[in-house]
Amino acid sequence: MNTKILIRLGKQLKIIRKEKGLTQEQLAEKVGIHPTYVGKLEGGKSNPSTLLLFKISRALDVKLSKIFEFDK
């Protein structure tokens, strides 16, 4: 598992979440996951499934591709 990619993905999720004015708890509630798991995702400590990323993108009201808009 490439942890650098997970860290970049997590940072992008955090940026988008904050732009939308949501707390980790609010996002977790919208997605149906535990707030601690949002923290793990944003910290690059967890490898989310494609389905979960889709649910997160819907909860954040962004295209799934936006989540992957980070530098290499």
Task: Report how far apart, in Å, the C-alpha atoms of 53 and of each of 9, 17, 37, 38 are.
Answer: 10, 13, 13, 11
Dihedral through CA 71, CA 40, CA 46, CA 25, nearest 10?
-100
Q: 47-68 as b/e, with b when 16 or more CB fall inside 10 Å?
A: ebeeebbebbbebbeeeeeebe
Q: Which CATH class is domain 3-67?
A: mainly alpha
Domain extents for the chain?
Answer: 3-67
In angstroms, the first-to-last Cα distance of the chain is 16
Q: What is the pTM of this model?
A: 0.92
pLDDT in tens, the chain (72 residues): 578 999 999 999 999 999 999 999 999 999 999 999 999 999 999 999 999 999 999 999 999 999 999 876
